[in-house]
Amino acid sequence: MELNDANLQTLTEFLRKTLDPDPAVRRPAEKFLESVEGNQNYPLLLLTLLEKSQDNVIRVCAAVTFKNYIKRNWRIVEDEPNKISDPDRTAIKANIVNLMLSSPEQIQKQLSDAISIIGREDFPQKWPDLLTEMVTRFRSGDFHIINGVLRTAHSLFKRYRHEFKSNELWTEIKLVLDTFALPLTELFKATIELCQTHAADVNALKVLFSSLTLISKLFYSLNFQDLPEFFEDNMETWMTNFHGLLTLDNKLLQTDDEEEAGLIELLKSQICDNAALYAQKYDEEFQPYLPRFVTAIWNLLVSTGQEVKYDLLVSNAIQFLASVCERPHYKHLFEDQNTLTSICEKVIVPNMEFRSADEEAFEDNSEEYIRRDLEGSDIDTRRRAACDLVRGLCKFFEGPVTAIFSGYVNSMLSEYAKNPGENWKHKDAAIYLVTSLASKAQTQKHGITQANELVNLTEFFVNHILPDLKSPNVNEFPVLKADAIKYVMIFRSQLPKEQLLEAVPLLLTHLQAESTVEHTYAAHALERLFTMRGPNNTTLITPAEMAPFTEQLLNNLFKALALPGSAENEYIMKAIMRSFSLLQEAIVPYVPTLIGQLTHKLLLVSKNPSKPHFNHYLFESLCLSVRITCKSNPTTVTSFEEALFPVITEILQNDVQEFLPYVFQVMSLLLEIHDNSIPSTYMALFPHLLQPVLWERTGNIPPLVRLLQAYLEKGGAAIATAAADKIPGLLGVFQKLIASKANDHQGFYLLNSIIEHMPPESIIQYRKQIFILLFQRLQSSKTTKFIKSFLVFVNLYCVKYGAIALQEVFDCIQPKMFGMVLEKIVIPEVQKVSGAVEKKICAVGITKILTECPAMMDTEYTKLWIPLLQALIGLFELPEDDSIPDDEHFIDIEDTPGYQTAFSQLAFAGKKEHDPIGDAVGNPKILLAQSLHKLSTACPGRVPSMLSTSLNAEALQFLQGYLQAATVQLV
């Protein structure tokens, strides 16, 4: 694509169409952009537009498109083509920093993100001058430019907060500190001075305070891994100024907005975070400064209001206290009873209250409320922070803290009892307090695993939780109902089973509550209860105990999906999946109606997939209904196909990328249930599965390979006769997979199925080419994973076609090749093969080579006979060799970049392990003994003399054991 006006005009038109609400206009435009993004100059055209276009909407759209393009394509993946040409990469890196700094803020943010994505891959090795280019801009004095640099540095360095320690990381951080730490400190001091100079200029202060916030974030990232020497030497400068900013109160920066945090709140929140980091990690060095920070943060907490805009500040300030109070050598700061009472009264209790803002979120923004409350993403809520502070204090002062709060809980509950209608929030706070007091350790899987002995959970459940669950009106006091359900869920491992069983039918009625939070919690609680393990590793709640409620459970769950706001509620869908899994054959009578509802739902969500978890559980539920029903009656598979195929066809025709990996797994599951034949509906689809475009997406590869394996297993002969022209396509897929280090094992899965299930005459003409491809890959990059797969394949080939055929195919590629493969690969590497079936295939294959290949007995290959036998006995008797060479690093499939759905394995579409040898060989050791016996009778005297002269004594001993077990002798 040339950099000319015509192309800029075309690009502008297509970008404008991608903003069109009408999918008929938008989708083709998106497809067009996707089709040209591989062309050289495409990214440069986007950058030209975002710099020079007269239309602001187009500029922003070009910036977003550019960032997403970089996100998808910048990373170079081994074995895959480089998606951005080198000249484009160089040009982008040469211009992007300047462009970013001279662009308006909206575009600056997008380009800043793009720089950090490029930096993640290229900095420092391939982009050494990035930092120096950025640091020189600090001198410009223009804070629009300076903030652009700071924002980019922040997105570049924030990964230091969660990277694992490594030499590479330390080298990079050291390089950053050498270039960046001093200029950052100078900028920090200068900005603080400017704040004093411009103390009365509100516009200047806004810019300066956003700089200070970014500088504070950078401080956090650069100090996270370890305390750098530079910052230790300059701690006085940083901490004195941080302390000064914490106590600063500038009336000009106070905002009237009650929701949105202002600049001063954001800055103070970050400083609380920085202080907490030093208090936790570098307490010795930070000790001189700690008391004044505790005082400043305490004063901040006592003087800050309840408005939402202060939430982040208050929660970070409380988190600071929480991190300080659980360190042994700060214990003395909290020992005094008055201090504890004061913390409980002034900080913890007020921040546990259910505010009107929480009530609004509960009613109007339930999804966000659930995300924060259930999934623990409420790190920045006051309640979570107060809860953490309670836990921190309980570490050293469990008795006194529990005593102080017991008084509060009792008075709150008695307030509620006086007038429930008015005072229900008191009970909500009491339940929250009890929960935070009682829970010491928690896991996603089991709920609370360790509880405070001083709190009687069962008694509290009976007196205060059950009455809410039993209340006949499920829509009254929905917040308290949700609290009660959450209590059951959190303390499920602590409450006795009979109380859980008492709660189950009550939870079923709450599935019909109008409140989204309430019926979602009910579904989630049931799902968690159904996963609990009983004493003998079965489920704690048995299908028999659920029998009286089965119909009500299934009815209410499906009805809940019809409630407003819950059409794609992932918790309800997960509960449906879990109920199917628990009830097993008890669901069979209901499946005919349920499958209709599930496929209808699938059709609706496939129009615009937006909730990945919901979709995943939906497919899991479909797989479960198929598995459970077909287990007892395999012929019902056809009725499932009738229900599912229309939707599957639509998904394939519309190329709904997110759903394809799931659809292929469902099809595999259905096809694997059939007897040995492929229905015509599947045969019609077969050619489409070989289309190269499907194989471009990494997420499709594992399920597609499995589906092709199912085709081969059920109808290898049918494919050979009815679709012989598709065999080259099938081998083309194998060739593509084998070339990739990430997917070569999938290529072998496919090849092994071809060898095992296709009639020999249908692939005889391709055999030589298959082996040549494998040798080429062995020469170009020989990895442990590839060798293990190669050994299994070679031995499977031998089992299937015989040892002579194997020797001939090798030797016709190149004379003496067979010997080289045995000597260089099979003998030294077979110990690495893992997995029972894989080892069995290798053992049977090697036995055949030893005993059914004349060339092994009377050519130059004879010298390999004993080493090969020794290797086979080693495979039987020695531990597996799982060492991997240092220079090898496997690319994980999940790491490939871009927005493609990574492969999502459906647990309930699982494939049974397949043994191609099956019962034909029970014990490979016995087979070896019998085969050697047969060989020795064919050429008497040869085998014993070879063994006695060359075989290692220990191996000989093992071999004699096999011969005795098989009751045969060598002659």
Phi, then psi, of 935 in degrees rounded to 5: -65, -40
How many Cα atoms occupy the beta-carbon half-sphere of 831 within 13 Å? Answer: 17
Going by pLDDT thresholds of 50, 70 and 90, the confidence category of residue 315 is very high
Distance CA 945, CA 951 (A): 10
Contact 309, 255 (CB under 8 A): yes
Q: How far apart are CA 238 and CA 236, in angstroms?
A: 6
Tell me the three state secondary structure of residue 30: helix
Interatomic CA distance for residues 743 and 741, integer angstroms: 6
Q: Residue 302: is its pLDDT beyond 50?
A: yes
The residue with tokens 């794609």 is 568
Does position 384 have pLDDT exceeding 90, yes or no? no
Question: Which H/E stretch holds residue 447?
Answer: strand 447-451
Phi, psi of 447 (to 5 degrees): 75, -145
Predicted confidence (pLDDT) per residue in 603-612, tens digit: 999 999 999 9
- Give the whole-angstrom CA distance, residue 328 versus residue 662: 52
Residue 464 gets which letter from DSSP?
I
Q: Which of 319-323, 378-382, 816-820 has the lowest mean pLDDT?
A: 378-382
pLDDT value, residue 443? 58
pLDDT tens-digit series, residues 566-606: 999 999 999 999 999 999 999 999 999 999 999 999 999 99
In sequence order, which residues have a C-beta less than 8 Å from that of residue 719 and are 6 or more positions away?
Answer: 678, 686, 711, 712, 726, 727, 730, 758
Q: How far is CA 571 from the centre of its chain?
A: 18
Q: How many residues does the chain have?
A: 971
SS3 of 662, please? helix
Q: How many CB atoms lie within 10 A of CB 87?
A: 11
Tell whether the model's pLDDT for residue 250 goes beyond 90: no
Nearest-angstrom CA–CA distance, 387 and 402: 13
In angstroms, the CA 758 to CA 797 distance is 12
Other CB atoms within a 10 A radius of the CB of residue 632 amount to: 10
pLDDT, tens only, 922-968: 899 999 999 999 999 998 999 999 998 889 999 999 999 999 999 99
Over residues 728-735, the mean pLDDT reads 95
Q: Where are the alpha helices (DSSP H) in 915-952?
A: 924-938, 942-950
> Locate tokens 């086979």: which residue?
872
Q: Report d(CA 383, CA 377) in Å as an integer.
A: 12
Residue range 779-794: mean pLDDT, rounded: 94
What pLDDT digit, counting tens, does each position of 739-765 carry?
A: 998 899 999 999 999 999 999 999 999
Angle between helices 263-281 and 235-247 (to 10 degrees): 140
Q: 12 near 56, Cβ under 8 Å?
A: no
Contact between 692 and 737 (Cβ < 8 Å): no
Residue 371: how many CB atoms within 10 A of its CB?
A: 13
Phi, psi for 539 (deg, rounded to 5): -70, 145
Contacts of 323 by beta carbon, 8 Å cutoff, 6+ apart: 276, 279, 280, 392
Task: Enumerate the β-bridge partners of residue 960.
Answer: none
909: CB partners within 8 A, 6+ apart: 619, 620, 623, 665, 666, 668, 669
160 and 222 Cβ atoms separated by less than 8 Å: yes
What does the alpha-carbon distance between residue 712 and residue 916 come to, in Å, rounded to a whole number? 13
* Better-scored residue on pLDDT, 329 or 769: 769
Answer yes or no: is pLDDT of 668 > 60.
Answer: yes
% of the chain beyond a pLDDT of 70: 96
- Are the CB atoms for 434 and 455 separated by under 8 Å? yes
Q: Which are the contacts of 240, defined by CB distance < 8 A and separation ≥ 6?
A: none
Please give the structure tokens belonging to residue 583.
């009830």
**Sole residue written with tokens 């209901």:** 590
CA gap 134, 149 in Å, rounded = 6
Residue 163, φ and ψ in degrees, nearest 5: -80, 150
CA distance 551 to 725: 51
Query: Nearest-CA neighbor of 492 among 543, 458, 517?
Result: 458
* Assigned token pair, 553: 């459970």
CA–CA separation, 513 vs 440, rounded Å?
A: 31
Give mean pLDDT, residues 139-145: 91
Note the pLDDT of residue 68. 95
**Confidence tier at 781 by pLDDT (50, 70, 90):** confident
**Per-residue confidence band for 892, with pLDDT thresholds at 50, 70 and 90:** very low
How many Cβ atoms from other residues are within 10 Å of residue 151's Cβ? 24
User: d(Cα 941, Cα 957) in Å, to the nearest integer?
Assistant: 19
d(CA 215, CA 270): 10
Quote the DSSP letter at residue 54: S
For residue 1, the model assigns a pLDDT of 87
- Confidence (pLDDT) at 897: 29
Amino acid at 463: N
Read off the pLDDT band of 274 (50, 70, 90): very high
The model's pLDDT over 12-29, given as tens digits with 9 standing for 90+, comes to 999 999 999 888 899 899
HSE of 763 in the Cβ direction (CA atoms, 13 Å)?
Answer: 28
User: Distance from CA of residue 693 to its chain's centroid?
Assistant: 25
**Structure token pair of residue 788:** 């293990």
pLDDT tens digits for range 500-517 = 999 999 999 999 999 999
State CA 268 to chain mean position distance: 33
Nearest to 689 by CA among 718, 664, 669, 672: 664
Count of beta carbons in the 10 Å neighbourhood of residue 914: 13
pLDDT digits (tens, 9 = 90+) for 474-496: 999 999 999 999 999 999 999 99
**What does pLDDT average to over the chain?**
92
Confidence category of residue 904, pLDDT binned at 50, 70, 90 = confident
Q: 416: closest CA among 404, 405, 431? A: 431
Each residue's pLDDT tens digit, 402-455: 899 899 999 999 999 999 999 999 999 999 999 888 876 555 666 666 666 667
Beta bridge partners of 891: none
Q: What does the alpha-carbon distance between residue 324 and residue 585 come to, in Å, rounded to a whole number?
A: 54
Q: Is the peptide bond before 760 cis (omega within 30 degrees of 0)?
A: no
Domains of the chain in sequence order: 1-122 (1.25.40)
Mean pLDDT of 186-211: 94
Burial class from Cβ neighbours inside 10 Å (0-12, 13-18, 19+) for residue 370 reads buried
Q: CA-to-CA distance for 796 and 756, rounded, in angstroms?
A: 8
Closest by CA to 220, choosing from 169, 305, 162, is: 162
CA-CA distance, 543 to 617, in Å (whole number)? 21
The owner of tokens 């004095």 is 141
Both tokens assigned to 170: 């330390």
**DSSP state, 898?**
S
Q: Which residues contact 590 (CB under 8 A, 6 or more apart)?
A: 550, 551, 554
Closest CA to 118 of 70, 77, 84: 70
